Chains A and B, each alone.
Chain A
Amino acid sequence: MDLSVEIAGLHLANPVLVASGTCGFGEEYAGRVDISRLGGICTKAITLHPRAGNPPPRICETPAGMLNAIGWQNPGLEVFLAEKLPALRAYGVPIIVNVAGETLEEYVELAARLNDADGIAALELNISCPNVECGGMQFGLAPDLTRELVAAVRQATDQVLITKLSPNVTDITALAQAAVDGGSDALSLINTLVGMSIDIQRRRPVLGNITGGLSGPAIRPVAVRMTWQVAEAVEVPIIGMGGIITYEDALEFIMAGASAVAVGTGNFVEPTTAVHVIDGLREYCIQHQIAKITDLVGAARTGG
């Protein structure tokens, strides 16, 4: 039974990643989760310079989901390279570095500097974070901007380039096509849906940032639908995510056309969620006599 997958030349021992921002830099879960079993780790968003992040409250629970507005709190590129990356490498799993910036130039500089770093499997371009004033999702809402940014980063790096798409658009396939046209090797989707919650006792928004990104099982049907649409529109591999808690959830994405999946909010519910999803996928394949998981990619499109 073969769970391994290839994402644009990047070999993953299994198709289950942990999503950016939900697993820090791995160390937070060390000793709690066997990180070496994961298909890969998408790091917390890295920016050129350290960022303090948004004022609290930063999170709020919603029905079968949660809102977050962290705002890219991270120690910056230098600390990432000097401290976080060496520690991450020790787990022996592919490291996908999520990069974020306020300007096109910041993305390019980050990509260029990370190009020389050892032990990075891929870059994940964060053009879909809804919780920052400048940059982030601004680059992910208009196809022209997306194409221009991806193309500029493409020039700066030889790494496998994954573009993480926002669901907060009218037609996600247009953004997917733009990212591919710009030179993205693969796509990951979806980032969070913009939402908000009001504290009716205090008569004001719950989140310090007013709005936040909705994640968790509540958004899964939207994410599966978008995975389906994007898989139909472009040829590049897709990493599907949005509310995956169980292996059944992961299979929905795979059968919709995702080559790999990522567990995000599910890590908060139970730190071993991703490991359980891997075990579940293996069991499913054995039970259904599936020789390799790649046979299931897009299975719902062809009627299996």
Chain B
Amino acid sequence: MLSTSAELAHREQVAPEHYLLTFDCPPIAEQAQPGQFVHLRVSEGLEPLLRRPFSIMNVNIPAGSLQLLFRVVGRGTQILAQAAPGTWFDLLGPLGQPFPVPATTQEVLLVAGGVGVAPLIFLAEALRELPAPCYVRGLFGARTEDDLACWLELSTRCDEFTAATEDGSAGQKGLVTDLLDEQFDRGGVERVYACGPVAMLAEVARQCERRQIACWVSLEQRMACGVGACLGCVIPVRGPGDTRYLRVCQDGPVFPAAQVDWEAMTADLD
């Protein structure tokens, strides 16, 4: 893990409320693996106080750059949405556990929901550049066409790609999880990687468990230190005996889906 200053090289609005930031940050770009994140200090002042974690969407090692995709949801992302290129930011990273990749050629399915697409873009690229490249199928769901931010970034890195929107404005109408049965029924999928809203991940995990297909999910949680010290960003995991919690920042953000206590994770959803 590095603590480093990085210059914002480029800021692009890629969809309504969605921004893509490109940082010049060779040390983190060289070390980062798909699924890892950076913990970014938004302001040098006290507002907002805490850093913000962002999954790395992509790295360009020759250029020494890395990209972060986000949707504007609060003060931190509002500030970043206005950040001027040339501004320097403090980054901690790369942090967390990456997606485990197969040692042999496999057929894999990526399931992305909303801005959860970010780490899967990085992963798709890595999976196809492995010594034993994978065959990558991609699914990407969002509420509406506008929320399919960076869909081209994902689709061009997949051997097959299908999008879904809840309002039918792009791709198939419905939830991305509605597409899972067809994917699995066709056969061939040996592992699944997913990132998106909790309800989506819980459904992906349920279907993978039923069909006994290995699945990894990338989770998010309100986070403070980012390095495992404060125990603030935990999620509930299954296990014998009492409730146990693991840290998203250090034990995750990538977890085997079978490890997560989905019942507790979804109990509080509206």
Contact = CB atoms under 8 A, between A and B. Distances in A.
A267 interface: yes
Contacts, number: 102
A-B pairs, top 6 by smallest CB distance, nearest first, are A24-B229, A59-B232, A28-B229, A64-B46, A268-B224, A28-B228
Interface string B44-75: 00111111000000000000000000000000
Contact of B47 (A59, A64, A268): A64
- Main secondary structure on A side of the interface with B: loop
A269 interface: yes
Given A60-B222, A272-B3, A52 B49 contact: no
Interface residues of B, number: 34
A14 interface: no
B225 interface: yes
Contact of B50 (A21, A23, A202, A268): A268
Contact of B232 (A52, A58, A217, A272): A58
B234 A32 contact: no
A7 B143 CA distance: 59
B104 interface: no
A277 to B, nearest CB: 16
Given A28-B250, A59-B223, A73-B245, A66 B49 contact: yes
Interface in B224-265: 224-236, 242-245, 250, 264
Interface in A231-269: 245, 265, 267-269
Contacts of A303: none
Contacts of B250: 28
B1 interface: yes
Given A55-B236, A56-B245, A272-B3, A267 B49 contact: no
B81 interface: no
B229 A29 contact: yes
B90 interface: yes
Given A21-B231, A68-B224, A245-B46, 13 more contacts: A22-B230, A32-B3, A32-B227, A56-B221, A58-B232, A59-B223, A61-B222, A66-B224, A267-B225, A268-B230, A269-B41, A269-B51, A271-B225
B185 interface: no
Given A24-B229, A28-B229, A32-B1, A53 B51 contact: no
A65 B47 CA distance: 9
Contact of A52 (B92, B230, B245): B245
A57 B244 CA distance: 14
A124 to B, nearest CB: 17
A226 interface: no
A63 B47 contact: yes
